Amino acid sequence: MQNSVMKAWWDSSHMAGGNAAYVEELYEAYLDNPQNVPDTWKSIFDELPTIDGVSVETKHSSIREDFKKMAALGPAARAGNSSAVQADAPSDERQVKVLQLINAYRFRGHQHANLDPLGLWQQARVRDLELSHHNLSDSDFETMFNLGSYAVDAEKMKLGDLFKSLNRTYCGSIGSEYMHITDTEQKRWLQQRIESVEAKPLIDRDEKIKILKGLIAADGMEKYLGSKFTGAKRFSLEGGDSLIPMLKGLITEAGANGAKEVVMGMAHRGRLNVLVNVLGKNPSVLFDEFAGKHDDSLGAGDVKYHAGYSSDFATPGGNVHLALAFNPSHLEIVNPVVMGSVRARLQRRGCKDGSAVLPVTIHGDSAIAGQGVVQETFNMSQTRGFSVGGTVRIVINNQVGFTTSKTEDTRSTQYCTDIAKMVQAPIFHVNADDPEAVMFVTKLALDYRNKFKKDVVIDLVCYRRHGHNEADEPNATQPLMYQKIKKHPVPRQVYAEQLLAEGSIAQHEVDKLMSEYRAALDHGACVVEEWRPMTEHSVDWTPYLKHDWTVDYDASLSKETLVELGKSITTVPESHRLQSRVNKLYNDRKAMISGERLLDWGMAENLAYAAILNENTHIRITGQDSGRGTFFHRHAVLHGQDGGEEYMPLQHIKDKQGNIEIYDSVLSEEAVMAFEYGYATAEPATLTIWEAQFGDFANGAQVVFDQFLSSGEAKWGRLCGLTVLLPHGYEGQGPEHSSARLERFLQACADHNWQVCVPSTPAQVYNMLRRQAVRPMRKPLIVMSPKSLLRHPLAVSSLDELAQGVFHNVIDEVDDMEPKKIKRVVMCAGKVYYDLLEQRRKNEQDDVAIIRIEQLYPFPEQEMAAIVANYKHVKDWVWCQEEPQNQGAWYCSQHHFWQSVPAGAKLTYAGRNASASPAVGYVSVHNQQQKALIEDALTIK
């Protein structure tokens, strides 16, 4: 905009004090939508000076309050108060330019911050930060300008002093990114905290000594391991040493603010250092692990840098329980696991705002930018079913991922943390060689999280002194970087020299601290002063330990109780008008309870939840269609047709009952299921269920099944009772929505690690869920749940069958057939049973029996033997399945089938031929195949 235009606008009588509020309202309306204001005002606002590269709305919103202050100068100027004009606001465009300069530093100062300890980052020229870009120069340095909303303890300042202040605040060891946040309150809060102290904290001597101790511990631990176990893989923290005082300070501050638990998730880099120097793991135990000693009772075990740990940590607000989650080399997958664990702990403590439990996730720079589960987890962070009151996210940014350090290869964004902007999280980049700056942003991040209940990111810009691991040679791929690193002093040395120079400590004191830490490592005992014996954990796993599959349990329930529960879950307030199909479904359910109809799948499942809640056990169910069920069968959450409000009958069984939460999840499998795994590992007393929209969608969560659910107990001793519902069945829906890949789950079966069930009746699903909640053991339950069986006329059950409280691992022939006449026995699982049954009845065959195996793992050998005893004379046995021969249960469970059939009998296969695809794409071909496999199974040759 031309200077004359600005001056004319600024001197306009419209800006007189009496009209300031009116002008501000116009300006706010313009920011919302430029078409909201008259053309005259639109043209004026359009011509306001801009900042390059930033949208008009964003630019202007950050200086709204500044215009208010300038508008208020009108009366003073008109009254002849020349001092007000000179001292507070020069009467030309320069005042606006100064406010734009302040805004430019808020937006882009981080691009000129001193963030890289190695000095390798190439800073691009940012013209917005230059005085000349704003028609200002050093000749204006002595001129006093109004500061607008710049949050220092002054209303005006000389330009020279302001320019220095802006550079100290936004271009020092901290690069603050927060202007992408649209909430003005949050931005103003951050500006006040950052600008009021010029991003430099006041730290007393005691705090400085604590920081130095943390750096000495971080450095000392790595050097000790490096000398004692030369070449051993440990994923050293060296270069990112500030993480240790950072975490200890974060935990201390969290405890002072009332937190009772801190749950952490991190990858490999620095994990051993954190275990010893933050959580208080005995160094001697770690050294034994390096030496190859282990306890055979611990199971398969895992490498050291995947290990978790728990301890208590003393803080001014009382002891805080710490939990570092176990996690595999799939680095970022631990983040939703941590958040699920935090959600469970918060609910157990009755905390709704997140203040009692703090989640902390520690990332690698390449991983946070490269792995999609990061985006999924950010997306979940503010949703109803998955929020935890915000997470403090720390990036150990060593500027290289494995061997890749060129940013054009590792990401498509300026910073590795840019993904966090999707949820408008503030991001603080900080030079890890300035530990005082690190401590400042740590407290700032925690305070922001606690106040606004949102995620916040700290980008700890550092380096790694060795290669990806200690056996790697980094000079082969990063020669220039490692020439720098070789000459660069360690963070402990950098900070010690700073304290020596300022007189905060003497050299002999530094030497003493270092020798004391080395002696503590030699002694092998805990080196963390704040460590305390564990008393603060909030859950007792004892009732669920040391049980096997034969443990006694009683899940029976009287028929009268079931009827009462059925009435309660079919009662809906008259004011809550249901959609017509849902209303019919609920009328049908009332008929089921009154005995007029047999129970279908949806009613039996809801009765299972009601029976569990009736015993004060909690339930959590999530999935992409969990409220109603993908196939319109559950309808546990009812949506009023007039106001859209939700009503859940299961929440209104009786006055004192278990709590149930059912959430339709974000469109994710990997992060959501990992969240539920974390929840279930922290809350054994809750029936936790994750349901896939279709069973094949679970492919997107394969890492969770492989690395956590199937092997977590064997590797880490982590018990988990998560139930996974995977709709599975061949109804001609094509390759994508037929198979839940049963074979993959059976292939992973070993060591009694989980249960794989294929229930075929409403009574079976009822009793399966009841067993999972009541039986005093916690193992994952994988369920091949049905689609077409949800409304199949033969897939019905009576209340008496539910009341028995027994899940039948194997079900014998149901028709009245003479065992002696049987010439062939067909074994099967799932929906194909009903196709076999209907065709056999149509054929009027009485010489083929059908046995259903409802639990494929652990294989029910005793129950199977009891049923097979009725058919010892039969030599012709068949396994029938819908899945192709190389899929389903045939290959993975065939050895169990062979062990079950009588001696001398033959076992053949009836099913689809082996296929690269799970199913055909044409309904006509599907029907032909289905007809053929049924005939094959029933035809005695």
- Each residue of 291-350: pLDDT tens digit? 666 655 555 554 544 567 899 999 999 999 999 998 888 789 999 999 999 999 999 999
How distant is the alpha carbon of residue 88 from its chain centre? 50
With CA atoms as reference, report the closest residue to 560 among 531, 606, 595: 595
Length of the chain: 941
- CB distance 757 to 731 below 8 Å: no
- Three-state DSSP state, 731: coil
The predicted structure's pLDDT at residue 30: 64
pLDDT at 893 > cutoff 50: yes
Highest-confidence range of 81-85, 482-486, 905-909, by mean pLDDT? Answer: 905-909
**H/E stretch holding 394:** strand 392-397
User: What span, in angstroms and rounded, lies between the C-alpha atoms of 555 and 553?
Assistant: 6
Could you tell me which residues come within 8 angstroms of residue 859 by beta carbon, excluding any fewer than 6 positions away?
893, 896
pLDDT at 10 > cutoff 50: no
pLDDT at 445 > cutoff 90: yes
With CA atoms as reference, report the closest residue to 263 among 346, 325, 336: 325
Q: Report residue 92's pLDDT band, with 50, 70 and 90 as the boundaries.
A: low
Percent of the chain whose predicted confidence (pLDDT) is above 90? 78
- CB distance 938 to 845 below 8 Å: yes
- CB distance 62 to 187 below 8 Å: yes
- CB distance 703 to 761 below 8 Å: no
Q: Where are any strands of DSSP class E within 702-748? A: 723-727
Kindly report, residue by residue over 732-765, the tens digit of the pLDDT. 999 989 999 999 999 999 999 999 999 999 999 9
- Segment 343-358 shows an average pLDDT of 96
The predicted structure's pLDDT at residue 300: 55
User: What span, in angstroms and rounded, lies between the C-alpha atoms of 612 and 531?
Assistant: 39
Kindly report, residue by residue over 760-809, the tens digit of the pLDDT. 999 999 999 999 999 999 999 999 999 999 999 999 999 999 999 999 99
- Three-state DSSP state, 233: coil
- CB distance 151 to 178 below 8 Å: no
- Sketch out the chain's domains with CATH numbers: 3-119+127-184 (no CATH), 205-532 (3.40.50.970), 559-803 (3.40.50.12470), 813-938 (3.40.50.11610)
Sign of CA dihedral 503, 509, 515, 518: negative
Residue 873: DSSP 8-state: T
- Segment 826-850 shows an average pLDDT of 97
State how beta strands 357-364 and 320-324 pair: unpaired
Structure token digits, residue 748: 């992973």
User: What span, in angstroms and rounded, lies between the C-alpha atoms of 729 and 835?
Assistant: 12
Q: Which residue has the tokens 């003493």?
A: 512
Q: Report residue 84's pLDDT band, with 50, 70 and 90 as the boundaries.
A: very low
The predicted structure's pLDDT at residue 124: 83
User: What span, in angstroms and rounded, lies between the C-alpha atoms of 918 and 902?
Assistant: 32
The predicted structure's pLDDT at residue 322: 95
Pseudo-torsion of CA 243, 247, 253, 258, nearest 10°?
160
Could you tell me which residues come within 8 angstroms of residue 193 by beta carbon, excluding any fewer than 6 positions away?
444, 447
User: What span, in angstroms and rounded, lies between the C-alpha atoms of 145 and 155?
Assistant: 8
With CA atoms as reference, report the closest residue to 400 among 340, 467, 305: 467
User: What span, in angstroms and rounded, lies between the C-alpha atoms of 785 and 239?
Assistant: 51
**H/E stretch holding 203:** none
φ, ψ of residue 398 to 5 degrees: the values are: -90, 15
- CB distance 579 to 641 below 8 Å: yes
User: What span, in angstroms and rounded, lies between the C-alpha atoms of 382 and 697?
Assistant: 23
- In DSSP notation, 508-535 reads HHHHHHHHHHHHHHHHTS---TTEE-S-
Q: Report residue 467's pLDDT band, with 50, 70 and 90 as the boundaries.
A: confident
The predicted structure's pLDDT at residue 18: 41
Mean pLDDT lowest among 42-56, 358-372, 479-493, 760-774: 42-56
pLDDT at 721 > cutoff 60: yes
With b for 16 or more beta-carbon neighbours within 10 A and e for fewer, the 844-877 pattern comes to: ebeebbbbbbbbbbbbbeebbeebbebbeebebb
Kindly report, residue by residue over 493-527, the tens digit of the pLDDT. 999 999 999 999 999 999 999 999 999 999 988 99
Kindly report, residue by residue over 162-197, the tens digit of the pLDDT. 999 999 999 999 999 999 999 999 999 999 999 999
Q: Residue 133 is which amino acid? A: H
In angstroms, the Cα distances linking 699 to 629, 702, 705, 744, 753 are 20, 5, 9, 10, 20
With CA atoms as reference, report the closest residue to 446 among 436, 437, 456: 456
The predicted structure's pLDDT at residue 144: 94
Percent of the chain whose predicted confidence (pLDDT) is above 70? 89
How distant is the alpha carbon of residue 556 from its chain centre? 37
Total-model pTM: 0.89
- CB distance 801 to 768 below 8 Å: no
Could you tell me which residues come within 8 angstroms of residue 529 by beta carbon, excluding any fewer than 6 positions away?
none
The predicted structure's pLDDT at residue 86: 41
Kindly report, residue by residue over 118-142, the tens digit of the pLDDT. 999 888 889 999 999 999 999 999 9
Q: Report residue 75's pLDDT band, with 50, 70 and 90 as the boundaries.
A: very low
User: What span, in angstroms and rounded, lies between the C-alpha atoms of 887 and 879?
Assistant: 13
Helix 670-682 vs helix 372-380: angle between axes, to the nearest 10 degrees?
60
User: What span, in angstroms and rounded, lies between the C-alpha atoms of 710 and 2?
Assistant: 69
Residue 720: DSSP 8-state: -
Structure token digits, residue 113: 């911050």
pLDDT at 66 > cutoff 60: no
User: What span, in angstroms and rounded, lies between the C-alpha atoms of 193 and 186?
Assistant: 11
- Provide the greatest CA pair distance for the chain: 116
User: What span, in angstroms and rounded, lies between the C-alpha atoms of 33 and 45?
Assistant: 12
- Segment 199-222 shows an average pLDDT of 94
Q: Residue 893 is which amino acid? A: S
Residues facing 460 on adjacent strands = 396, 430
- Segment 626-632 shows an average pLDDT of 94
User: What is the residue-averaged pLDDT of the chain?
Assistant: 89
Could you tell me which residues come within 8 angstroms of residue 454 by beta carbon, excluding any fewer than 6 positions away?
381, 382, 390, 423, 424, 425, 448
User: What span, in angstroms and rounded, lies between the C-alpha atoms of 777 and 754?
Assistant: 11
